């Protein structure tokens, strides 16, 4: 069995900060076409991170190219499985928001976006990844050997 991929936890917080900025813009900008475009971009970023890998996301590439060289190597790495699951959770919320916006359910879109924003802000500001915590809870209920 191969070892899980390890990631720089500082990069995860940078990615969460960029995500929070995009989602805050969705809530702050009144133009529906701009909201749709921003949500579509965020959905795509979450999909890349969830299905291709965390380091494949454009935000992670930004961190690797611009931020990490200024910080040096991380003191420790962490398992990529919980944050990758968190990206899937983020994808779910933003996809729901995008579909809601496209179908005229603006209030539902803003609520789903707001929930995703809160999660991203918690991760960026204090390192609390709600999706990661959900992953760990679900793992406790998964039978051993699966």
Say what angle helices 9-28 and 32-47 make with each other, to 10 degrees.
Answer: 160
SS3 of residue 78 by DSSP: strand
The model's pLDDT over 40-73, given as tens digits with 9 standing for 90+, comes to: 999 999 999 999 999 999 999 999 999 999 998 8
Which SS3 state, helix, strand or coil, does residue 38 take?
helix
How far apart are the C-alpha atoms of 71 and 2, rounded to whole Å?
Answer: 29
Tens digits of residue pLDDT in 78-110: 999 999 999 999 999 999 999 999 999 999 999
Q: Would you say residue 70 lies in a domain? A: yes
Residue 122 lies in a domain: yes
In a domain? residue 1: no
* Number of domains into which the chain is organized: 1
pTM for this prediction: 0.92
User: What is the separation of C-alpha 83 from the centre of its chain, rounded to a whole number of angstroms?
Assistant: 8
- CA atoms of 39 and 36, how far apart (whole Å): 5
């Amino acid at each position: 069995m191969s070892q899980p991929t390890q990631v720089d936890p500082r990069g995860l917080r940078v990615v969460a900060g960029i995500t929070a900025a995009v989602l805050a813009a969705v809530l702050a900008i009144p133009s529906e076409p701009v909201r749709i475009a921003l949500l579509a971009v965020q959905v795509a970023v979450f999909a890349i991170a969830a299905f291709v890998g965390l380091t494949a996301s454009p935000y992670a590439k930004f961190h690797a190219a611009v931020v990490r060289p200024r910080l040096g190597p991380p003191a420790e790495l962490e398992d990529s499985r919980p944050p990758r699951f968190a990206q899937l959770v983020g994808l779910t919320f933003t996809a729901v928001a995008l579909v809601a916006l496209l179908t005229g359910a603006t209030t539902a879109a803003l609520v789903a976006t707001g929930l995703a924003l809160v999660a991203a802000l918690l991760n960026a500001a204090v390192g609390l990844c709600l999706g990661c915590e959900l992953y760990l809870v679900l793992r406790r209920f998964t039978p051993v050997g699966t």
